[in-house]
Amino acid sequence: MTNSYLNHKCLVSQGKYKPGSVHEKSLEAIIHSISVGENVNSGYDMMSFGDGPDLVCVILQCRGDSYGSKCRSCFASAIAGLRRRCPRYKGGIIWFDQCLLEISSIDTVGQLNYDDSFCMSNAKNVGDNPYLFILKWDTLFDNISHANKPALYGAGEKRIGTKRKMYGMVQCTDDLSVKACQELVRKRGARVLGRSCTANETLGMNFTLLLMPKPVLILI
């Protein structure tokens, strides 16, 4: 299972913090607490400290099949990546294969974020029957998005013809409600990554369909 860097966004409108400032000290304290804490074992953590211009909010969401040591390792990679790509910015988002990390001076917990997203498409042709592909796509993601998922993560597969399978995965950050999650994932794309949710469709599986100990209902 890879953990490739995918994309990042520096939230420049939030400005930068100064070395040695209260903001920097709060950020470092939160990073340390998450890195040594137990919440990464379940694949999600959120911490905030301060108020006003010194508010620091950090949200870590690991992929549903990347918890424990994989989540902890991805968090370290994401922190290093944001430090390098968005130095001293108060806000930034970075996406890896196995996790999403947001650092912000604005409390966005539980809010749908439609602005900070991007799409990664596959250049390969879907085959001789694109209409069949679209039909299978709609059925697969409709099944996944309607599943009762306490972890807001679901994965499944659909056969296309006799030789190929389509694999799908959707996940929302744990601060969203199930209703909000379903509203977000009922969109079409190849691989869409956002602050609030991720949707991935592929003809080659690169995630785990069956998970333990996270409860997942897969409808095929």
Q: How many residues does the chain have?
A: 220
pLDDT more than 90, % of the chain: 36
Residue 184 CA to residue 12 CA, distance in Å, equals: 25
The band of 209, judged by pLDDT with boundaries at 50, 70 and 90, is very low
CA nearest to 109, candidates 180, 28, 212? 180
Q: Say if residues 78 and 31 touch (Cβ distance below 8 Å).
A: no
pLDDT tens, residue by residue, 154-202: 666 666 666 666 666 666 776 666 666 666 555 444 445 555 556 554 4
- For 42, the token pair is 């379940």
pTM of the model: 0.68
Q: Give the chain's domains with CATH numbers.
A: 5-109 (3.30.430.20), 118-202 (3.30.430.20)
pLDDT tens, residue by residue, 114-127: 666 655 555 454 45
